């Protein structure tokens, strides 16, 4: 009996010691089933390999995510390692929510060489504030059944073909649309299409290289914007909010099958595979009038919060975990489970992946994709969205509306530079 008590005491002391030596890391991302599962698998592997570190994951609905982060960190609570959209970095960094990656664990030159060029957008003032596990580009998703019913065996490759096919697939009865060829969604991915795809295809970069100046208020920029609004007002290829709801254009395409084509990101592959009960395909974005290809690239990055820098043991553990979730193995698992493209050049160059009918178009697009240097993503999105709405809903002249947008966005850029 005495022995048993002594043994239990020893065990208790050992366990307490072990617990004290263990560093706890809290990881946050927004709730999305596939992303949650992939991260759980990564955490399980990481915890097994690092008995002195315990990583825990917490998730929040997308709409409450930034709110949770905004409120928790000032109270000294919340995550050590956090996932954020790269476009949020400037506003998060300015308020101290993310810290620079510590140089003793991350070599900037090596990151520059091994990650896809787009990952440069995780830098501010030449310093990395985080790293992506996966990157995404945009593609044109199309309903093969609807297209072939209308006599089209292949998806549009140019904007002219896009207009022709979308027109053929739009059914209007009286004043109302029953089916539309194109699920118009400026609030979805299309503000990116206008900004990074159409402006470049019509002959102008949207911003100066350092991202401080709006350049799309040029003639080419106006032409690009008028082309986009013309697809809605003149060609009547579709209407905004055709299907009501959070992302009605997706529901109309995937479930209701009354939308023939939509622009969406590679992140939509998994959901489309799970939902669509018809033959669908995906292709690169239409080529511009002078043959220019362009695309919008983006990513979610993992960064360290001030909590992670609270003490050296914690910093080391958080850095280790961040290295792990951005390692080649993690990226391969992420591709398998979530369907998002790896963020390392060596993996992207995989010829098998580039030949894949679904992943291929996105991989090929990455070569000519641009990641906008946002300063305030939500406000900048609203500027473009309002520009479209002024033309489509209020009948404002596209040129006037676009110049107003340019002035509004320039004001945001100036405000941030102060």
Q: Residue from 132, 139, 188, 206 that binds other proteins (CB under 8 A)? A: 188
In angstroms, give the least distance from the CB of 93 to other proteins: 10
For residue 367, which phi and psi values (nearest 5 degrees)?
Answer: -60, -30
CA-to-CA distance for 251 and 242, rounded, in angstroms? 10
92 or 334: CB nearest other proteins: 92
- In 34-187, beta strands by DSSP E: 53-60, 81-85, 123-124, 127-128, 131-136, 138-143, 171-173, 176-182
Q: How far is the CA of 154 from the CAs of 126, 148, 161, 165, 254, in angstroms? A: 44, 8, 10, 10, 19
Q: Residue from 55, 269, 390, 413 that binds other proteins (CB under 8 A)? A: 390
151 or 395: CB nearest other proteins: 395
204 or 380: CB nearest other proteins: 380
For residue 246, which phi and psi values (nearest 5 degrees)?
Answer: -55, -55
CA-to-CA distance for 129 and 89, rounded, in angstroms? 8
Retrieve residue 166's tokens.
């979308």
Does the protein bind other proteins through residue 404 (CB under 8 A)?
no
For residue 143, which phi and psi values (nearest 5 degrees)?
Answer: -90, 105
Q: Residue from 241, 279, 336, 397 that binds other proteins (CB under 8 A)? A: 241
Does the protein bind other proteins through residue 79 (CB under 8 A)?
no
Cβ-contact 285, 189 below 8 angstroms: no
250 beta partners: none
Q: Residue from 153, 246, 277, 395 that binds other proteins (CB under 8 A)? A: 246
Does the protein bind other proteins through residue 182 (CB under 8 A)?
no
2 or 176: CB nearest other proteins: 176
DSSP 198: I
Positions 93 through 112 that interact with other proteins (CB under 8 A): 94-97
Work out the end-to-end distance of the chain between its first and last CA atoms, rounded to an integer number of angstroms: 73
In angstroms, give the least distance from the CB of 303 to other proteins: 13
Does the protein bind other proteins through residue 418 (CB under 8 A)?
no
Residue numbers at the binding site for other proteins (CB under 8 A): 66-67, 70, 73-74, 91-92, 94-97, 174-178, 185, 187-188, 239-248, 306, 376, 378-379, 385-386, 389-390, 393-394
């Amino acid at each position: 009996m005495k022995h048993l008590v002594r043994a239990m005491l020893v065990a208790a002391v050992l366990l307490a010691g072990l617990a004290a030596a263990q560093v706890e890391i809290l990881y946050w991302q927004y709730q999305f089933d596939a992303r949650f599962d992939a991260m759980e698998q990564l955490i399980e592997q990481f915890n097994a390999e690092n008995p002195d570190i315990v990583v825990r994951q917490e998730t929040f609905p997308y709409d409450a995510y930034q709110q949770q982060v905004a409120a928790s960190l000032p109270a000294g609570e919340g995550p050590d390692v956090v996932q954020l959209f790269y476009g949020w970095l400037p506003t998060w960094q300015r308020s101290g929510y993310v810290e620079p990656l510590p140089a003793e664990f991350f070599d900037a030159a090596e990151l520059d060489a091994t990650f896809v060029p787009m990952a440069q957008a995780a830098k501010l003032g030449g310093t990395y504030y985080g790293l992506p596990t996966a990157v995404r580009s945009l593609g044109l998703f199309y309903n093969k059944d609807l297209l072939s019913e209308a006599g089209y065996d292949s998806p549009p490759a140019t904007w002219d073909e896009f207009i022709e096919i979308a027109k053929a697939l739009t059914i209007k009865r009286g004043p109302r649309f029953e089916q539309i060829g194109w699920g118009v969604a400026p609030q979805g991915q299309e503000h990116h299409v206008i900004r990074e795809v159409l402006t470049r295809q019509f002959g102008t970069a949207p911003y100066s290289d350092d991202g401080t100046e709006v350049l799309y208020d040029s003639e080419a920029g106006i032409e690009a914007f008028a082309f986009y609004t013309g697809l809605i007002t003149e060609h009547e290829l579709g209407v905004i909010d055709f299907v009501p709801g959070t992302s009605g254009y997706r529901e109309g395409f995937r479930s209701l099958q009354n939308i023939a084509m939509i622009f969406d990101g590679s992140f939509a592959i998994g959901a489309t595979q799970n939902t669509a009960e018809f033959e669908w395909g995906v292709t690169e974005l239409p080529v511009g009038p002078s043959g220019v290809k362009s695309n919008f690239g983006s990513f979610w990055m993992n960064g360290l919060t001030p909590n992670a820098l609270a003490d050296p043991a914690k910093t080391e553990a958080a850095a280790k975990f961040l290295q792990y979730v951005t390692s080649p193995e993690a990226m391969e698992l992420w591709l398998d489970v979530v369907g998002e493209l790896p963020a390392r050049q060596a993996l992207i160059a995989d010829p098998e992946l580039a030949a894949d009918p679904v992943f291929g178009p996105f991989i090929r697009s990455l070569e000519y994709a641009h990641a906008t240097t946002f300063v305030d993503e939500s406000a900048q999105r609203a500027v473009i969205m309002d520009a479209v709405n002024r033309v489509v809903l209020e009948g404002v002249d596209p040129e006037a509306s676009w110049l107003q947008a340019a002035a509004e966005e320039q004001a945001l850029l100036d405000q941030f530079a102060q």
